[in-house]
Amino acid sequence: MNARKWALAISALTAAVAVGVPPAMAQAESRHIGDLCTSNDYTTCAGSASFIKAGDHMLIWDNKADHHSVVVTGQRSDGRPLELWNHSGSDGDGKVDHNLNLPENGWIRYKVCLGEYGTKDVLENTCSVSKLENAT
């Protein structure tokens, strides 16, 4: 997590505690801001994703109860399709963990979007910018 995101998270939690919001409620109101956010808008991050190099995991968060799923789409170095869904909703921590099992020296280029899981429609106007990540 970069310094800006960390500072925003700490200041939001501090503000919630300062106005007397119980810590459990403050946590429920917070949302995860991964490496990429839907619409690349860090103030309304309805969905986010982070690539974890150790083990080739993609973590996908649903941060908003908006009746949309969160989807990560893109390309893989091995030519396999990359379409990973979080359709479990924003309850709890809202996180889904996908193990990508990338080849050694592999890579992915991905973006995070909102979508409709039932029809597998990706709402392209909600997508973040693309990000390239190397597996090693």
Residues 63 and 120 grouped into a single domain: yes
pLDDT for the residue numbered 32: 77
Residues 49 and 101 grouped into a single domain: yes
Number of domains the chain contains: 2
Answer yes or no: is pLDDT of 45 > 60: yes
In eight-state DSSP terms, residue 103 is P
CATH number of the domain encompassing residue 93: 2.60.40
Residues 26 and 53 grouped into a single domain: no
Mean per-residue pLDDT over the chain, rounded: 80
Residues 76 and 111 grouped into a single domain: yes
Residues 45 and 22 grouped into a single domain: no
Q: What is the pLDDT of residues 55-114, one digit of tens each?
A: 999 999 999 999 999 999 999 999 999 999 999 988 888 899 999 999 999 999 999 999
pLDDT for the residue numbered 11: 43
- Structure-model confidence comparison of residues 112 and 34, the more confident one: 112
Range of the domain at 5: 1-30
Residues 70 and 86 grouped into a single domain: yes
